[in-house]
Each structure stands twice: as C-alpha cells, then as structure tokens.
Amino acid sequence: MRQWVWAMAAITLLAAAPLHAQFVSPFDQPTTQPSWQRPSTGQDAQQPFHPLFFDEPALYPQLGPREEEDVNNGGVNFNFDIRYMNRYVWRGVDQATLAHRAENSLQFEGRAEFDLGKLPHPFVGLFVNVFNEDPISRFEEVRPFGGLEWTLRPLIFTAGIDAYIYPNRKPLDTNDVWGSLTVDDSLLFRTNRPIFSPYIYGAFDAALYHGFYLETGIKHDFVFENLGATLTPHADIAYVIKQPYFALPGQTADSGFQHYDIGLTGALSMNQVFNFSRRHGEWSIVGYLNYTDGIANHLRADTRIWGGVGLRFAY
C-alpha cells in the first residue's frame, strides 16, 4: 500500500510540472556549437538556465601552462653573455695592448637584478675581458658593477658605480659613478614597443681622472616573431668635460665632442628555433657589428670597425 502512495505522489508532481521542463544530465556531451551562437528559436529559446547545466566553453578549462607562466616570474632575474670580439672598444678608444693590433678577445658579462615591485630594482654584475696574448695579464680588465633601476613610465632611471680593475696594472685602476635616463616612447607613439628609446648617460671618474663623460643615443628593435629574431640598430654620440683620459699626448684640451658610434646587434632565440621551453631560461645567439670614429682632433678616439658573436642566457 505504501508503494502505491509514493507512486501516486510522483505522478502528481510530474503532472504539475511545466510541459516544457526537460531534464539535463551533467554527463551529456556539450554541443559543438555553444548556446550563445545557436538561433534562439524552438526548444532552445524556452529552456531554463541553470549554472550546472550550460554548455559554454568556460566549463572546460584549458590544460597546460599559459605562455606567461612558462618563464621566470620570480624576484631575481639573471643575464649572462659570453662574447668573442675582434676588438675591445670602450668609449671610442681601442683597448688593444699590442700596438693596436686586433686582440680577438673573449668577454664575459653577467648581471643579476632583484625585482622589488614598485620600488627601485637593485642589480649587481661583473664584466671580464680576457686576451691570452697579453704580456702582463691575460685578464686585462675586471669590472664589477652595481646599482639601482627604477621604472616610472615613460621614464627609466638608472644609477650605479663601476670599478675598473686592471690586474698587475694597479696605477690604471679607477671607478665611475654614473646615471642614465631612458624614455619609453611607446606611450607617445601608442605602440606596443618603444620606437627610438632615447637615452642620456653621464659618468664621473671619481678616483683617477676626475672628469665627466656624457653620451646620448637611440635604438630600435625590429622583432621577427615567427623567426625568433631581433635586429637592433643603434647610434650614439659622446661629449667629455675636463676628462684627461681622452686628451691626446701633448694636448692640454680635454673637453668637447669625442666620438660617435653606429651599429647593429642581432639576436636569434634558440628556444624558438629548436622549439624548447623557456621555463629554464632563454638561450640566444647574438651578433655584433659596430663602427666607431672620433670627432674632435684634439681628443683621443679611434676609427674602428669592430664586432663579434656571442651566446646569451637569460632567466
């Protein structure tokens, strides 16, 4: 008797339900066309909405990490370059030690930057120039450096100190205190990437020469995303103020426009060429080609075509 009572109650409930009501199982396969793209006619137009039983694509999350999750987003970033250069030219002056012969030197440069959010980012690094045929020391120059970088778009402020150490040439050791200002002009041109990235750089030799070196320049990145390649032409011009290092022998004048550079740097991403993840860093082959020439006849500068090739690791 009790079973008959339950059966009659169920029949009564079904009869009272709306004729258009339809049971939708959560295990049904979704249609290939989402409901918001199908015509709102017939049964679809009258079907009630329930958050558990809709067939929108958002119900099925994508698997695997997103591109931005596949790189180092931590608080410390590293860059390391190893370069083989036919000449080492610094601020327009060839640093060769053997009668201005091409040195074909090996250079190492590494940098670590600490991301502090909206605060200035501290960084430390080391540059080393190695020339096996140097008669005094194959480690010709060792330059530790450090500083702070602060981005307040569209401006990027950077300041730091470089220590120039010349092993077994102690009287040449010195250091620079320097600062730079770079403009991110992508806001001005309303582009995704900067167009010219103009900058101004100033350094004061605080230990040996007690003079100023000023430089301004521009650059632009041509990015070929399908190839994983970037070409960066650049140009700069320098002016010195009371800087004896750039005075020619027998000259007392040590101020004026000193040199200019034009060049091209190319980078090819090995991650993209060989299709491997950036999760553990990005590897690139980098090529350098530069032309340097002096401006003022009374200041020290060399006319050189120089460059080389290197390997870059960024993480």
Mind listing the pLDDT tens digit for each residue in 90-131?
999 999 887 667 889 999 999 999 999 899 999 999 999 999
Mind listing the pLDDT tens digit for each residue in 216-262?
999 999 999 999 999 999 999 999 999 999 999 888 889 999 999 99
Mean pLDDT lowest among 37-51, 98-112, 143-157, 253-267: 37-51
- pLDDT score of 55: 44
- pLDDT score of 184: 95
Q: Does the model's pTM come out above 0.85?
A: no
Token representation of residue 62: 């994508």
What's at 51, amino acid-wise?
P
As a whole-number percent, the residues of the chain with pLDDT over 90 amount to 67
Domains, the chain, in order of start with CATH, read 2-59 (no CATH), 77-314 (2.40.160.40)
Q: Check pLDDT > 60 for residue 89.
A: yes
Closest CA to 94 of 238, 235, 301: 301
User: Residue 271 — φ and ψ, nearest 5°?
Assistant: -60, -45
How is residue 248 annotated by DSSP?
A: P
- pLDDT score of 27: 41
Give the number of other Cβ atoms within 10 Å of residue 21's Cβ.
Answer: 10
State the Cα–Cα distance between residues 145 and 140, nearest whole angstrom. Answer: 16
Q: Check pLDDT > 70 for residue 83.
A: yes
The HSE-up count of residue 100 (CA atoms within 13 Å, CB side) is 6
Q: Predicted confidence band at 39 (pLDDT cuts at 50, 70, 90)?
A: very low
Count the residues in the chain. Answer: 315
Q: How far is CA 274 from CA 108, 230, 269, 278, in A?
A: 25, 17, 9, 11
Mind listing the pLDDT tens digit for each residue in 180-228?
999 999 989 999 999 999 999 999 999 999 999 999 999 999 999 999 9
**Average pLDDT in the chain:** 83
- pLDDT score of 210: 96
